Amino acid sequence: MSWSSGTDLVFMSMVYHHVTDPTAVTKECHRALRQGGYACIRNGTRESDFPHRHFFPLRALIASDLPARRDIESVFAAGGFTPVVHQVVTQVTATDWPSFVEKSALRADSFLARLSDDDFQQAMAALRTHGDAINQDDAVTEEIDWCVFTPRMRSPVLPRSRQVNKLASRLFLNFSNRPSTDFAPSPESENFHC
Protein backbone atom coordinates (compact mmCIF):
# COMPACT_ATOMS: atom_id res chain seq x y z
CA MET A 1 0.00 0.00 0.00
CA SER A 2 1.33 3.42 -0.84
CA TRP A 3 -0.42 6.77 -0.57
CA SER A 4 0.86 10.25 -1.19
CA SER A 5 1.75 12.39 1.83
CA GLY A 6 -0.80 14.86 3.04
CA THR A 7 -3.66 12.44 3.56
CA ASP A 8 -6.19 13.56 6.19
CA LEU A 9 -7.55 10.16 7.15
CA VAL A 10 -6.64 6.49 6.97
CA PHE A 11 -9.64 4.30 7.79
CA MET A 12 -9.23 0.54 8.24
CA SER A 13 -12.45 -1.35 8.89
CA MET A 14 -12.26 -5.02 9.89
CA VAL A 15 -8.98 -5.55 8.04
CA TYR A 16 -6.31 -5.00 10.72
CA HIS A 17 -6.40 -8.68 11.74
CA HIS A 18 -5.65 -9.67 8.13
CA VAL A 19 -2.49 -7.52 7.94
CA THR A 20 0.65 -9.67 7.98
CA ASP A 21 3.04 -6.84 8.94
CA PRO A 22 1.28 -4.30 11.19
CA THR A 23 4.54 -2.40 11.75
CA ALA A 24 4.96 -1.77 8.02
CA VAL A 25 1.33 -0.65 7.71
CA THR A 26 1.75 1.71 10.66
CA LYS A 27 4.91 3.22 9.13
CA GLU A 28 3.08 3.75 5.83
CA CYS A 29 0.17 5.40 7.66
CA HIS A 30 2.63 7.71 9.42
CA ARG A 31 4.33 8.57 6.14
CA ALA A 32 1.06 9.20 4.33
CA LEU A 33 -0.77 11.24 6.96
CA ARG A 34 -0.35 14.97 7.23
CA GLN A 35 0.33 16.44 10.65
CA GLY A 36 -3.04 16.50 12.40
CA GLY A 37 -4.39 13.61 10.30
CA TYR A 38 -5.94 10.50 11.80
CA ALA A 39 -5.55 6.75 11.51
CA CYS A 40 -8.83 5.07 12.48
CA ILE A 41 -8.92 1.36 13.18
CA ARG A 42 -12.24 -0.47 13.46
CA ASN A 43 -11.60 -4.11 14.28
CA GLY A 44 -12.47 -6.97 16.57
CA THR A 45 -9.91 -7.84 19.24
CA ARG A 46 -9.22 -10.87 21.42
CA GLU A 47 -11.14 -9.14 24.18
CA SER A 48 -14.21 -8.33 22.05
CA ASP A 49 -17.44 -10.21 22.60
CA PHE A 50 -19.16 -11.47 19.48
CA PRO A 51 -21.79 -14.21 19.10
CA HIS A 52 -19.75 -16.62 16.98
CA ARG A 53 -17.20 -17.13 19.74
CA HIS A 54 -19.92 -18.68 21.96
CA PHE A 55 -20.96 -21.36 19.45
CA PHE A 56 -18.06 -22.07 17.11
CA PRO A 57 -14.67 -23.58 18.09
CA LEU A 58 -12.74 -20.38 17.44
CA ARG A 59 -10.49 -20.13 20.52
CA ALA A 60 -7.26 -20.98 18.62
CA LEU A 61 -8.09 -18.68 15.69
CA ILE A 62 -8.98 -15.81 18.02
CA ALA A 63 -5.70 -16.26 19.93
CA SER A 64 -3.59 -16.41 16.77
CA ASP A 65 -5.37 -14.01 14.40
CA LEU A 66 -7.14 -11.30 16.38
CA PRO A 67 -4.92 -8.61 17.86
CA ALA A 68 -5.13 -7.71 21.51
CA ARG A 69 -6.12 -4.12 22.25
CA ARG A 70 -2.67 -3.48 23.71
CA ASP A 71 -1.02 -4.87 20.57
CA ILE A 72 -2.76 -2.30 18.36
CA GLU A 73 -1.85 0.53 20.74
CA SER A 74 1.77 -0.66 21.04
CA VAL A 75 2.31 -0.96 17.28
CA PHE A 76 0.93 2.52 16.65
CA ALA A 77 2.90 4.04 19.55
CA ALA A 78 6.11 2.47 18.22
CA GLY A 79 5.21 3.82 14.77
CA GLY A 80 5.15 7.43 15.98
CA PHE A 81 1.46 7.85 16.83
CA THR A 82 -0.37 9.25 19.82
CA PRO A 83 -3.69 7.66 20.80
CA VAL A 84 -6.68 9.98 20.53
CA VAL A 85 -9.52 7.68 21.51
CA HIS A 86 -10.28 4.05 22.15
CA GLN A 87 -13.84 2.86 22.54
CA VAL A 88 -15.59 -0.45 22.41
CA VAL A 89 -18.73 0.05 20.36
CA THR A 90 -21.65 -2.30 19.96
CA GLN A 91 -22.90 -2.85 16.45
CA VAL A 92 -25.92 -4.74 15.16
CA THR A 93 -24.83 -7.70 13.04
CA ALA A 94 -28.33 -8.99 12.31
CA THR A 95 -31.80 -7.58 12.89
CA ASP A 96 -32.96 -10.80 14.58
CA TRP A 97 -31.77 -14.32 15.47
CA PRO A 98 -33.11 -16.09 12.34
CA SER A 99 -31.29 -13.53 10.16
CA PHE A 100 -28.09 -14.12 12.14
CA VAL A 101 -28.37 -17.90 11.67
CA GLU A 102 -29.03 -17.44 7.95
CA LYS A 103 -26.09 -15.04 7.62
CA SER A 104 -23.79 -17.41 9.55
CA ALA A 105 -24.80 -20.33 7.32
CA LEU A 106 -23.26 -18.48 4.36
CA ARG A 107 -19.86 -19.03 6.02
CA ALA A 108 -18.67 -15.69 4.68
CA ASP A 109 -16.83 -14.76 7.89
CA SER A 110 -13.10 -15.47 7.49
CA PHE A 111 -12.97 -17.45 10.75
CA LEU A 112 -16.01 -19.60 9.91
CA ALA A 113 -14.60 -20.30 6.46
CA ARG A 114 -11.52 -21.91 8.04
CA LEU A 115 -13.38 -24.38 10.26
CA SER A 116 -13.74 -28.00 9.29
CA ASP A 117 -17.12 -28.92 7.82
CA ASP A 118 -17.94 -31.05 10.90
CA ASP A 119 -17.09 -28.27 13.36
CA PHE A 120 -19.05 -25.77 11.31
CA GLN A 121 -22.18 -28.00 11.07
CA GLN A 122 -22.13 -28.81 14.80
CA ALA A 123 -21.90 -25.10 15.67
CA MET A 124 -24.71 -24.25 13.25
CA ALA A 125 -26.89 -26.84 15.01
CA ALA A 126 -26.05 -25.16 18.34
CA LEU A 127 -26.99 -21.76 16.88
CA ARG A 128 -30.38 -23.06 15.75
CA THR A 129 -31.03 -24.75 19.11
CA HIS A 130 -30.10 -21.59 21.02
CA GLY A 131 -32.78 -19.73 19.09
CA ASP A 132 -35.43 -21.78 20.91
CA ALA A 133 -34.30 -20.39 24.28
CA ILE A 134 -34.24 -16.67 23.44
CA ASN A 135 -36.46 -13.95 22.03
CA GLN A 136 -35.66 -14.41 18.35
CA ASP A 137 -36.90 -10.92 17.49
CA ASP A 138 -34.05 -9.19 19.36
CA ALA A 139 -31.21 -7.74 17.33
CA VAL A 140 -27.92 -9.64 17.43
CA THR A 141 -24.94 -7.46 18.36
CA GLU A 142 -21.17 -7.67 18.64
CA GLU A 143 -18.42 -5.55 20.15
CA ILE A 144 -15.97 -3.77 17.88
CA ASP A 145 -12.92 -1.80 19.00
CA TRP A 146 -12.63 1.74 17.62
CA CYS A 147 -9.12 3.21 17.88
CA VAL A 148 -8.05 6.62 16.60
CA PHE A 149 -4.41 7.72 16.44
CA THR A 150 -2.65 10.85 15.20
CA PRO A 151 1.00 11.21 14.21
CA ARG A 152 3.18 12.70 16.93
CA MET A 153 4.49 16.17 16.13
CA ARG A 154 7.21 16.06 13.53
CA SER A 155 10.08 18.50 13.39
CA PRO A 156 9.92 20.41 10.15
CA VAL A 157 12.93 19.95 7.92
CA LEU A 158 13.76 23.41 6.63
CA PRO A 159 16.62 24.46 4.43
CA ARG A 160 19.61 25.29 6.61
CA SER A 161 19.40 29.05 6.00
CA ARG A 162 15.75 29.16 7.07
CA GLN A 163 16.52 27.08 10.17
CA VAL A 164 19.30 29.45 11.12
CA ASN A 165 17.07 32.49 10.49
CA LYS A 166 14.27 31.03 12.63
CA LEU A 167 16.68 30.20 15.44
CA ALA A 168 18.16 33.68 15.25
CA SER A 169 14.67 35.22 15.34
CA ARG A 170 13.73 33.17 18.40
CA LEU A 171 16.92 34.10 20.20
CA PHE A 172 16.42 37.75 19.35
CA LEU A 173 12.83 37.70 20.61
CA ASN A 174 13.79 35.91 23.83
CA PHE A 175 16.49 38.46 24.61
CA SER A 176 14.53 41.52 23.60
CA ASN A 177 11.40 40.56 25.61
CA ARG A 178 9.20 41.47 22.68
CA PRO A 179 6.04 39.38 22.30
CA SER A 180 5.71 37.48 19.06
CA THR A 181 2.90 35.60 17.37
CA ASP A 182 5.21 34.02 14.80
CA PHE A 183 5.65 30.93 16.93
CA ALA A 184 2.14 30.49 18.31
CA PRO A 185 0.73 26.98 17.91
CA SER A 186 -1.45 26.50 14.89
CA PRO A 187 -5.02 25.17 15.20
CA GLU A 188 -3.79 21.89 13.67
CA SER A 189 -1.43 21.32 16.60
CA GLU A 190 -4.21 21.52 19.19
CA ASN A 191 -5.23 18.23 20.73
CA PHE A 192 -8.25 16.54 19.24
CA HIS A 193 -10.97 15.58 21.71
CA CYS A 194 -13.95 13.33 21.15
CATH code where residue 44 lies = 3.40.50.150
Q: Which residue has the higher pLDDT, 157 or 18?
A: 18
Distances (CA, A) of 70 to 74, 83, 98, 113, 133: 6, 12, 35, 27, 36
pLDDT number for residue 137:
97
Reported confidence tier of residue 5, pLDDT bands at 50, 70, 90: low
Average pLDDT, integer, range 104-131: 96
50 within some domain? yes
117 within some domain? no
What's the number of domains the chain is made of? 1
Is it the case that residue 175 has pLDDT exceeding 80?
A: no
Average pLDDT, integer, range 163-171: 47
pLDDT number for residue 120:
98
pLDDT number for residue 145:
96
104 within some domain? no
72 within some domain? yes
Distances (CA, A) of 128 to 80, 115, 122, 142, 180: 47, 18, 10, 18, 71
pLDDT number for residue 189:
33
Average pLDDT, integer, range 100-109: 96
Cα separation, 91 vs 188, whole angstroms: 31
What residues have CB less than 8 Å from 193, skipping those under 6 apart?
A: none
**pTM greater than 0.85:** no
Ranking 56-65, 154-163, 164-173 by mean pLDDT, the lowest is 164-173
Per-residue pLDDT reduced to its tens digit, 133-156: 999 999 999 999 999 999 997 655
Which residue range forms the structural domain that includes residue 11?
7-92+142-177
Reported confidence tier of residue 2, pLDDT bands at 50, 70, 90: low
